[in-house]
Each structure stands twice: as structure tokens, then as C-alpha cells.
Structure 1
Amino acid sequence: MKKIVLFTFLAFSLVSCSNDEEPSLDDQNPTETIYFPNNGSDVWETKSVSELGWNQNKLQPLLDYLELKNTKSFIILHNGKIVVEQYFGNHTATSPWYWASAGKTLTTAVSGIAEQEGLININNKVSDYIGTGWTSAPLVKENMITCKNLLSMNSGLDDTLGDDVSPSNLQYIADAGLRWAYHNVYVKMQDVVAQASGQSWSNYFNTKLRDKLGMSGLWIQDGGLSVYWSNTRSMARFGLMIYADGKWHSSQILNENFLNAATTTSQNLNLSYGYMWWLNGKTSYRLPQTQFQFTGTLIPNAPSDMYAALGKNDQKIYVVPSKKLVIIRMGDSADNSNFALSDFDNALWGKINELTN
């Protein structure tokens, strides 16, 4: 049986314990403050499965399933403290891996920071910041596209033309706000922030977000797009800041009002989409590369208040305020290649529920 990387403070942490036998930590200490690891340190405080009243017997089946499904790393935080941290194969705590589209939420966060600094207003048109001619749409149509449209994926630009975001490939298909489509045109928000700040995107990102959270990582160009790479704990740091309503220790990194808007429905076309965050618990959802609307909630097995950053080939950040959880998964595709949501999400949440309930 493979070794479990499981942290514990109490000698009885390896004893199987159910919720019936011991009340959860939420019940014992509902006002417990959020824990943040220090910057520049590898120390990260921990809790045990038993301490939380979770089912110890379900941990190894969860880890076995993750390994079977091509996972490279997996972390569960409870109120900021590490409960489970596991690396598979040759992947280690220092190994970098790509966030894919889960990294879209980094662009969301930095856009919010730029707005709170007065550099941009997401309700303004994109051309206010990067000039006209950034698309091939008629000028009157281009000028309808706001920064909020980019964040909400309803720019009205044709999503069927591939990843290229040069003007010739950004073509009009519908008026902004009238069509939801998962589109790489969101990266124009990075240009907006760069122009408004007078800095490169990477410099502004590093100064305003990465370094303040003590994250590692960098943006790497991949087919004309910037893809973020980091170790797993850096992804966990970002997820923790989001869970903490934009705070890191005593500093408000991201305005709470903006974050609330980012993690609620941003338009009336895809109820399960905010500002590049996927939202659970809604009555319908749409997926990349289709205009079909699916009835029901995004991930039925997940808590209704869960929201997620979902990246190609099953890169995941799950945030669950009601359960005080942040969950990270990095790796290769669990099954088939995918752009965001996959069948793996619901199956994984079934295993997580067996552990935590």
C-alpha cells in the first residue's frame, strides 16, 4: 500500500473515527480563525483527519483513486491548514505544473486588483485601454465589448476559430452580452491591465498578487497564450486567499465586493459562470465548445456553494465556504482530454464526501 502523506498533531489521529463518534471541528470551534502560512517559509500548519471527525478509512481509497486517475498532486485545506497532501509518481512538492484554464482566475483576481487601484473599470469598453482594432468586428460592435464581457465570456466573438487572439481571428458573431462562449479572448484583460498600469503583465501580477501570497511560479507562452506554472502549494495559497474573502494574513489583497461578484452568476446565459469561476448549485450550465444548455447543477456530488477554477486535463481548485475547504488537484487528464468540467469532477467529489462526511 502506498504511503499516505498525512499530517497529524494528536497521537490518536490514526484511529478510525466517524462523525457520529466525535463532533466535527466546525461544531467544536465555529469561530476558529483562518490560518495562513507565512511567506518565504515551507512551514504550513496541519490538522489530522481524525481531529476533524472525518472517516480515516476512506482516505486511502481516495488516494488510490487519484493515483489511478493520473493525478500528480492533491491537497485538502481545512480553514487554511493542510489535512491531506499527496504527491504521486515522480512529482514532488517542488515540481512545477501548468494551471491551464484554472489560471484564468488569476487574471480575474489581478483585474479586480487593478480596478480597486483605480486603474481600470470593468464596465468600460476594452478599446478604452488597448485602442480600437483589437478585433475584426465592425467598430460599433467592437466598442460594445466591455472588460466585464471578457471576464464573463460573453464578448460575442466567434469561439470556433481556435486559440489565436490576433485581430484577424477575433471575429464578430453576436453583439456583446447576447452569446456565452468559452473563448481565449479573455487574455486581452492582461493587455488591459498592462496598458493601464504601465507595466508588463508579469511584473504587475508578480508585485500585486504572486509575491504578496508567497507563491512560486511564472507565466510561460504556449501557442500565443500565457499559461501559469507553479508548484501545488502555490495553487493552494491562491485558493486560500480566495476562500478568505480576498485576505492574506491582515492584508486585503482583493476587494471582497469584487470577489463576491466574481463568484456569483455574471450574466443570464450561463448561470454557472461568474468571472471565470465555475459555480455549483445552479439550475443549469453551459460548457466549452457548445451552445447547448444542460439542466441541473454543475457537479451534483459537490456542495451547492462550491465554486471552482477548472483547467484543461483536470487541473482543479475547489473552494467550499460552508465546509471551510480548499481542494487542489494537478495532473494529467483523468480520462479523456477536456477543457474544463469532466466526469472526473463528480466521481472525485463522491470520494471526497466519503472521507469528509
Structure 2
Amino acid sequence: MKHIYFIFLCSSLLINFSCASDDSNDEDIVDESIYYPPINSDTWETKSMAELNWNDNALQPLLDFLEEKNTKSFMILHNGKIVVEEYMNGHDSNSTWYWASAGKTLTTATSGIAQEEGFIDINNKVSDYVGTGWTSAALDKENLITCKHLLSMSSGLDDTTGDDISASNLQYVADAGTRWAYHNVYVKMQDVVAQATNQTWDSYFNTKLRTPIGMNGGWFNLGVLNVYWSNTRSMARFGLLTYANGKWEDQQIVNETYLAEATNTSQSINKSYGYLWWLNGKSSYHLPQSQMEFTGDLIPNAPSDMFAALGKNDQKIYVVPSKKLVIIRMGESAEDENFALSNFDNELWEKINTLIY
């Protein structure tokens, strides 16, 4: 009987030791502070794949795939530190590129800052800030549209009339909050912020968001579109700010509660959409230029808690809190022209998974 007890005790100790050893290698439970690269400096600390127990053999196939798919730059941050940073197809670390609709999330963040400072309330109607007659809708219908409806793409305005957001082109289709449609009308939030703060959009954005986190680049007005351009590291800085719940070092740039709302379902129609952020792991989703509902995850190969800024022709910011990851992709369209989500997202995550799992 003593021998049996001794064997049982040793087995238990061995099991406990093995479990403890496994836990020590689990990156998700390591208590490590988020790293922030210095402002106005090219310094950015790195972390090796060996430290993370990633599959080094999978890196070159991933990079080959990216280059083949017209990528110009690609970065992976782990808890703020650079693990992968690669440039290809004529691009380098100083080159700037357009964010396209991935830059919508810059408007989300800046709107949150303006709300925290008391200039706006996203639950107020848009006409409180820009005046009435900013659409072609009847006044009672126009006054249904709040700032939150602009941020959640649920204004009810016609999305088939192009990117022009002049009043004559913003036509009523449905009551605000009853229809989701991907529409350039979100840009009106930039007018809201400018009017409420009595500053230009660029000035307020630069002072409150761009400069405090060390981004470069700027807004370029391309006719009816206002598009942000920057280098790749600037996009990574913004992704890191969002991963860090709106904080940069000891300064809260974007209110944490607001940012949590922005990166969760914002309305009942498209469960995979927040405040201009796309959300994975939901039961269904809608796509631009369609009223169809699709069941399942937005990007099946990506972690369920991932949320993303997705721009035309495959500009990407992926944020994965559970894995402490921020992933950036800039470049030409991987295949056909697209407005946000594309087949490339799922294909890319298949390759990423071979590296990090």
C-alpha cells in the first residue's frame, strides 16, 4: 500500500511540474508591460521569434506570399515590440502610402477625444453641430441621424450615389438606425469635430492624436475623399494605441470606455461592425455595397477577438488582444480591387497562423 501511495505521489508531482512548465511558456500569462516606441525617434525595440516560440521556418513562406500579393510593407508587433518588419516591391521604411478606409478609424479615435473633452456627444444629432440641411432628407428624418449613426454606418442615407457627401447627394432611404450601409457619409464626423472645436479638422487631429503618439503623415483631399497617408510605422503606432486601450505610456489619449464601445458591435444589423472598426468572431456580417447578411466569422482563420481597420485594396490594421498582436499590411490590392474585406484576409491569416501557433 505504501508503494502504491508513493507511486501516486510521484505521479502527481510529475504532473504538477509538467503543468507548471507548460504555464511558464504560455505568453498569454506573462506579466509584461506594453512597450511604447519613443516619440520623434526611429528607435523601436524588437523581440525575436525565438523568445515567443514562434515557427521561424514559416517566416519566409509568409514573406514570399506577401510579396507575390503586391504587398509593400508588413509589420507584426507583440505587446508593442517589433517581431517582423519587412518592405518589398519598391517600398521602404520612409515611404508613405494611403490608408484608404483603414483611416476611418482615425476619425473614430478623434471623435472620441472630442467627446471626452466635452465638445461633442455622439448621441446628439449631427445637425446640432453642422446645422440643418446637410442632407436632402426631410428635416424630421435628417434630425433622426446622430453622430453615432455616422460612426456605425447606420445613417439610413443612400449608399448608391457615390462618395460625394454634398447635401444633394445625401438622400433618405430609411430611418436612421434601421439600415446598415457602408457609406462615405462618415466623413461628416470630421465636420462635426471641426465645428464643435472651432478648429480645422487637421489641426485638432494633429494636436490631439497624431503628435502625442509620434505619427507622421497627413490628410490629403482627393476631391470628395479625405485620405490619410503615412509611413508604415505610423500606422503601427495607431494600432498600438488601440491595442493599449487608448493609452500611450502614462497618457490616456482616447477614453477607454469609448474605445471599448468602438471595437464592439455598434448596432443590431451588422454585428461585425463597431464605430468604423470591423469585428471578428460574431455570428454574422454585412459587406459594403450589399444588404445581404452572411453567417459566420468575418475572417474565419483569424482569432475570434480580433478587430480590424480595413481599407481599399487591402490596407490592414489587425489588433488581437488575446495574442498581444498588432499586424500591419500596406500595398496594392492583393487580387481584385476591393473596398474593405477580401479573400486575402483569410488567406493571409492562414499563413500568419503557421508562424505564431
Name the TM tier (shorter chain).
over 0.9
Opposite residue 195 of structure 1, the aligned amino acid is Q
Question: What one-letter code is carried by the residue in structure 2 that aligns with 1:97?
Answer: W
2:95 paired residue number: 95
Residues 311-335 of structure 1: CA deviation (Å, up to 9, x unaligned): 0000000000000000000000000
Deviation at 1:52, TM superposition (A): 0.6
Is this contact kept in 1: 2:263–2:307, CA < 8 A?
yes
Is the radius of gyration larger for structure 1 or structure 2? Answer: 2
For 2:33, the equivalent position in structure 1 comes to 33
How many pairs align? 337
SS at match of 1:288: coil
1:277-336 superposed Cα distances (whole Å, 9 cap, x missing partner): 000000000000000000101000000000000000000000000000000000000000
C-alpha deviation, 1:22, in angstroms: 11
Q: What is aligned with 1:3?
A: none
Task: Kindly indicate whether the alpha-carbon contact (under 8 Å) linking 1:23 and 1:53 is maintained by their aligned counterparts in 2.
Answer: no
In the TM superposition, 1:75-224 aligns within 5 A as 75-224=75-224
Change (3 A) 1:125 1:350: same
Please give the secondary structure, in 2, of the residue aligned with 1:221.
Answer: strand
Q: Is the 8 A contact 2:284 2:294 kept in 1?
A: yes
Task: Give the AA of the match of 1:135.
Answer: T
Residues 192-217 of structure 1 show CA distances to partners (whole Å, capped at 9, x for unaligned) of 00000000000000000000000001
In structure 1, stretches of 5+ residues that fail to align are 1-19
Instruction: Provide structure 2 residue ranges, at least 5 long, that are not aligned to the other structure.
Output: 1-20
Q: TM-score under structure 1 normalisation?
A: 0.93
Amino acid at match of 2:57: N
- The equivalent residue for 2:306 is 306
Give 2:178's aligned amino acid. L
Aligned to 1:227: 227
Give the Å deviation of 1:225: 1.4
Q: Determine the structure 1 residue equivalent to 2:334.
A: 334
Any conservation in 2 of the 1:156–1:178 contact (CA below 8 Å)?
yes
- Percent identity reads 72
Higher helix fraction: Structure 1 or Structure 2?
Answer: 2
Instruction: Note the C-alpha offset of 1:224.
Output: 1.5
Alignment TM-score, normalising by the size of structure 2? 0.93
How far apart are the structure 2 equivalents of 1:30 and 1:55? 19
Separation in structure 2 between the aligned mates of residue 137 and residue 229 of structure 1, nearest angstrom? 33
- Alpha-carbon distance between aligned partners in 2 of 1:118 and 1:89, rounded to the nearest angstrom: 45
Letter of the aligned partner of 2:258 in structure 1? F
Deviation at 1:21, TM superposition (A): 10
2: CA distance, partners of 1:121 / 1:21: 48
Q: Deviations over 1:29-81 (max 9, x none)?
A: 61100000000100000001111100000000000000000000000000000
The secondary structure found in structure 2 opposite 1:109 is helix
Alpha-carbon displacement from aligned partner over 1:227-272 (angstroms, at most 9, x marks no partner):
0000000000000000000000110000000000000000000000
The Cα of 1:25 is off from its aligned counterpart by 6.0
Aligned 8 A contact 1:218 1:229 in 2: yes
Q: How does 1:41-56 map to 2 (within 5 A)?
A: 41-56=41-56
Q: Secondary structure at the match of 1:165?
A: coil
Q: What residue number does 2:352 align with?
A: 352
- Distance in 1 (CA, whole Å) between partners of 2:202 and 2:159 is 26
Distance 2:149 2:30 in 1: 38
The residue number in structure 1 matching 2:17 is none
Write the distance in 2 (CA, Å) between the matches of 1:341 and 1:22: 36
Aligned-pair CA distance for 1:223: 2.5
Letter in 1 for 2:333: S
Q: How far 1:89 moved relative to its partner?
A: 2.2
Q: Is the 8 A contact 2:305 2:321 kept in 1?
A: yes
Q: Which letter does structure 1 place at the counterpart of 2:116?
A: Q
SS of the aligned residue for 1:50 comes to helix
Structure 2 distance, partners of 1:347, 1:25, is 26
Name the counterpart of 2:13.
Answer: none
Amino acid in structure 2 at the alignment position of 1:139:
L
Q: How far did residue 23 of structure 1 move? A: 6.2
Judge conservation of contact 1:299–1:346 (CA < 8 Å) in 2: yes
Q: Distance in 2 between matches of 1:25 and 1:94?
A: 35
Tell me if structure 1 keeps the 8 A contact 2:70–2:89: no
Corresponding residue SS for 2:51: coil
The structure 1 segments of at least 4 consecutive aligned residues displaced by more than 2 Å after TM superposition are: 20-25
Distance 1:278 1:333, change over 3 A: same
